[in-house]
Structure 1
Amino acid sequence: MYVADSRSTPATAATAAARDLGPGRRAAVAPTVLALGTVSLVTDVSSEMVTAVLPLYLVAGLGLSPLGFGLLDGVYNGFSALVRLVGGHLADRGGRHKTVAVLGYGLSALCKPLLLVAGSLPLIGAVLAADRTGKGLRTAPRDALISLASPEESRGRAFGVHRAMDTAGALIGPLVAFLILRQAVDGYDAVFTVSFCVAMLGVLVLLLFVPSRPKAPAAPAPDGAPRASLKAALALLRLPDVRRLALCALLLGLATVSDSFVYLLLQRRLGVTDRWFALLPIGTAAAFLLLAVPLGRLADRVGRWRVFLGGHAALLLVYGALLSGWQSPALPYLVLALHGGFYAATDGVLMAAAAGCVPAELRSSGLALIQTGQALARFCCSIAFGAAWTAWGDRWAIGTATAVLAACAATSFALRPASPAPAPGPAPSPPTAPVSKDTPA
Structure 2
Amino acid sequence: MKSITRTIWILSLVSLFTDTASEMLYPIMPFYLRSIGFSVVLIGVLEGVAEATAGLSKGYFGKLSDSSGRRVPFVRVGYALSAISKPMMAILILPLWVFAARTIDRIGKGVRTGARDAILSDEATPQTKGKVFGFHRSMDTLGAVLGPALALLFLHLHPESYRALFFIAFIPGLLAIAATLLLSDKDKAKVKQPTTSKSHRSFFSFIGYWRVSPARYREVAVGLLAFTLFNSSDVFLLLKAKQAGLSDTAVIGIYIFYNLVYALFSFPMGILADRIGLKRVLVVGLCIFAATYLGMGYFASSYAIAAMFFLYGIYAAATEGISKAWITNIADKKDTATAIGTFTGFQSICTMLASSLAGIIWMTLGASATFTITGIAAAVVASYFAFFVGNGTNTNSR
Tell me if both proteins adopt one fold, taking TM over 0.5 as the criterion.
Answer: yes
Which of 190, 201, 204 lines up with 2:175 in the alignment? 201
After superposition, where does 1:2-401 map in structure 2 within 5 Å? 27-57=2-32, 64-65=39-40, 71-116=45-90, 124-207=98-181, 209-214=182-187, 216=189, 230=205, 234=209, 237-273=212-248, 275-327=249-301, 329-401=302-374
Contact residue 171 and residue 286 of structure 1 kept, 8 A: yes
TM-score by length of 2: 0.88
Q: Where does structure 2 lack aligned partners over 5 or more consecutive residues?
A: 195-199
Alpha-carbon distance in 1 for matches of 2:207, 2:325: 21
Amino acid at match of 1:187: S
Contact residue 74 and residue 383 of structure 1 kept, 8 A: no
Alpha-carbon distance in 1 for matches of 2:87, 2:48: 21
Amino acid at match of 2:225: L
2:380 maps to 1:437: no
Shift of 1:261: 2.3
Partner of 1:425: none
Seen in structure 2, the aligned counterparts of structure 1 residues 228 and 302 have a Cα distance that, compared at 3 Å, is farther
State the Cα RMSD in Å.
2.9
Amino acid at match of 1:438: S
Alpha-carbon distance in 2 for matches of 1:141, 1:166: 16
Query: Matched residue of 2:127: which SS?
Result: helix
Contact residue 76 and residue 132 of structure 1 kept, 8 A: yes
Query: Matched residue of 1:356: which SS?
Result: helix
Aligned residue pairs total 391
Alpha-carbon distance in 2 for matches of 1:188, 1:164: 28
Alpha-carbon distance in 2 for matches of 1:237, 1:249: 19
Query: Matched residue of 1:106: which SS?
Result: helix
Amino acid at match of 2:137: R
Query: Matched residue of 2:27: which SS?
Result: helix
Query: Matched residue of 1:131: which SS?
Result: helix
Query: Matched residue of 1:210: which SS?
Result: coil
Seen in structure 2, the aligned counterparts of structure 1 residues 385 and 128 have a Cα distance that, compared at 3 Å, is farther
Seen in structure 2, the aligned counterparts of structure 1 residues 369 and 232 have a Cα distance that, compared at 3 Å, is closer
Amino acid at match of 2:7: T
Contact residue 233 and residue 355 of structure 2 kept, 8 A: yes
Shift of 1:163: 1.0
Alpha-carbon distance in 2 for matches of 1:291, 1:330: 21
Amino acid at match of 2:397: D
Identity, % of aligned positions = 26
Contact residue 40 and residue 202 of structure 1 kept, 8 A: yes
Shift of 1:141: 0.7
Amino acid at match of 2:219: R
Select between 48-57 and 136-145 the one with higher mean Cα deviation.
Answer: 48-57
Partner of 2:197: none
Q: Where does structure 1 lack aligned partners over 5 or more consecutive residues?
A: 1-25, 222-226, 423-429, 431-435
